Structure 1
Amino acid sequence: MAYRTVNQILKSHSSSDGDGVRIQRVHGFDNPHFSPFLMIDELKSLSPDDYIGGFPPHPHRGIETLTYMLNGHFQHKDHLGNVGELRSGGAQWMSAGKGIVHSEMPIMANEQLHGFQIWINLPASKKMSDPQYHDFQSNVITEKQLSDNSLLRIIAGDLTIDGETLTGPLLQTGVPLTVADWQADSNDKMQACLNPDFQAMLYVYQGEISIGDISVAQGHLTLLSTGESLAITANERSGVLLLAGTPINEPVVHYGPFVMNSMDEINQAVEDYQNGTFI
């Protein structure tokens, strides 16, 4: 059984988006080993000034977004009339398809805000599909207690642990994928079986982990080799996002909130939005 090893480690960088929201970002628009994912934004703050402006109405085309909150709330509104308030421990998924205009406004809970937004590419055959939206509150996220202080949460797709396949609530993504959150104490271990056709990565949002003899610290993302199994050790109290999915072997052209397969398609998206024919 082949274990996945570390191929590349990427450090997140400070950035801002929306109305001045401070984030830590790591992206791989030009990295084929990142596919089907495009970007991970981590929102973490104890100061409302870092995020109070939120993300006012803005468009997307050609992608999906998955937002997952550890602490705090996130209010979603879009032109389709969808309104959702994502609460601590929950997730929300949106497929922009051919076009959606939405807003996202963060709300602190217990004087904390900590969450993630993951951009997922859509294959060309689905980039012009109808937009969709669903939210999943904490009580429907699949959980497994691996030890006294080691908790695994499956948000999307499935993951096999100790011969048991756990399935999360989000299944209707553009390509098959798995998104999970592992929260562990020092010296806790997790061993999982992954679809060998998936590309996989780990984002460490707390503490430090080891994969084999390589350590990965907080704020870093590691791209993994192919293989059927994954073994992780927490070197201290840690939190890790696992992202795995079917790679999309197509050109990626990114311009602001649009991700398409060619510059002509990007130009069309911009023109549609400016002309009011976007939606």
Structure 2
Amino acid sequence: MSLRPTLETRPAKPTMEGAGVKLHRAFGFQDPSELDPFLLFDDFRNERPEDYIKGFPWHPHRGIETITYVLEGTVDHADSLGNTGSLGAGDVQWMTAGSGILHQEMPHGNAKGQMHGFQLWGNLPAAQKMTAPRYQDMTSDAIPEVTDDDGTHVRIITGTFWGKTGPVDGIAADPQYLDISVPAGVRKTFKIDTYRRAFAYVFQGSAAFVDASVPTGVLLEKEIGGQEIHIRDMSGDRTLIRFGTGDEVTVQAGEHGVRFLLISGAPIDEPVAWHGPIVMNTQAELQQAMRDLRNGTFIQPAH
């Protein structure tokens, strides 16, 4: 067994998208090989309706998949194929844009005005760039959950983990997407396929991701739950942790526990031509997509 080293720890950066939605971006529009097959990850979390209510009006996508996971509030969606729906707390939507789709996503707060969710973009390989668009909407009660003896709790969005399999399937990157809660002071190891790129995103509490590549003398000593442990500085709210190669990740929860997403996928290792919500393999394909948008042929006929 080999522990994955931490390549980078960085805070998500405030930005604005859509019609003025304030959010935090953990990664996106940088080097697409960094976390291949994943391209972008946004944390949209607000307590003031004016910071999100204008939402994400009609916009195109081609060549990618978008994964939306809602924790608080709701997100209403509609698309150019005539699909409509609403995602509530705990629900997941996996949209394969494929050859092209126009859609809108309009968030609404809960009774307290709070809105919280995540959106991850996954790339599509060349052979699937122009596949037919589709949606997979999964309600919260369809997502399996498992709790270990030490209180560690995992929601399995996709992939198989601890004997349970998430409901979303047929995704190009064959990803594993886990929502993990670890109680205060607990140290826990999670298996990840060696050949997948992987990252964690802390969004509640704090934790140290134990890195075997760092000598013990470099680590900090701290007492948590009556135990003296050796840890790195804790990663807190809205922190991205990018991992190197290995087959497991070990996390040491902080004094208030931690909740984080652990996401991995098989790299595509193909050229990327990227402009906004459209991701192709070549500049020629990207230019064709722009022409299609201009001349009204972006939505491909069903086969």
Q: TM-score range by the shorter chain?
A: over 0.9
> Which moved further from structure 2: 231-240 or 113-122?
231-240
1:256 to 266, 271, 276: 276
Distance in 2 separating the partners of 1:270 and 1:147: 53
TM score, norm. by length of structure 2:
0.87
Question: What SS does structure 2 have at the residue aligned with 1:32?
Answer: coil
Distance 2:127 2:20 in 1: 34
Q: Flag the 1:147–1:71 CA change in 2: closer, same or farther, 3 A.
A: farther
Percent identity, aligned pairs only, is 39
- Structure 2 Cα separation of the partners of residues 171 and 63 of structure 1: 15
Asked if structure 2 preserves the Cα contact closer than 8 Å seen for 1:37 and 1:121, the reply is yes
For the 8 Å contact 2:122–2:173, the answer to whether it is kept is no
**Equivalent residue, structure 2, for 1:6:** 6
Shift of 1:217: 2.3
CA distance 1:73–1:147, change in 2 (3 Å)? farther
Instruction: Count how many residue pairs are aligned between Structure 1 and Structure 2.
Output: 275
Distance (Å, rounded) in 1 between the aligned partners of 2:7 and 2:104 = 36
> Secondary structure of 1:237's partner?
strand
Shift of residue 233, structure 1, vs aligned partner: 1.8
CA contact (8 A) 1:77 1:84 kept: yes
Q: What does the per-residue CA deviation read over 1:167-211, in whole Å, with 9 as the maximum and x for residues that have no partner?
A: 111121112110111123321333221111111100111221111
Other-structure match for 1:240: 260
Q: What corresponds to 1:192 in structure 2? A: 190
Contact 1:123 1:174 in 2 (8 A): yes
Give the whole-Å Cα distance in 1 for the aligned partners of 2:267 and 2:8: 17
Mapped contact 1:30–1:252 kept (Cα < 8 A): no
Aligned to 2:249: 230
Please tell me the residue identity of whatever aligns with 1:122.
L
Greater mean alpha carbon deviation, residues 144-153 or residues 39-48: 144-153
**Hey, what does 1:122 align to over in structure 2?**
124
Q: In structure 2, which of residues 147, 157, 163 is the aligned counterpart of residue 145 of structure 1? A: 147
Query: Which 5+ residue runs of structure 1 have no aligned equivalent?
Result: none
Conserved in 1, the CA contact under 8 Å of 2:207 and 2:257?
no
Deviation digits for residues 126-171 of structure 1 (CA, Å, limit 9, x no counterpart):
1111101011110011101125753210101122xxxx33211112
- Compared CA separation, residues 106 and 148, structure 1 to 2 (3 A): farther
Aligned CA RMSD, in angstroms, stands at 1.4
CA deviations 1:230-261 (Å, max 9, x no partner) are: 21121133220111000110111211110111
Indicate conservation of the 8 Å contact 2:14/2:22, yes or no: yes
User: Is the 1:38–1:119 Cα contact (8 Å) retained in structure 2?
Assistant: yes
Counterparts in 2 of 1:98-109, with a 5 A limit? 98-109=99-110
Aligned-partner residue type, residue 208 of structure 1: S
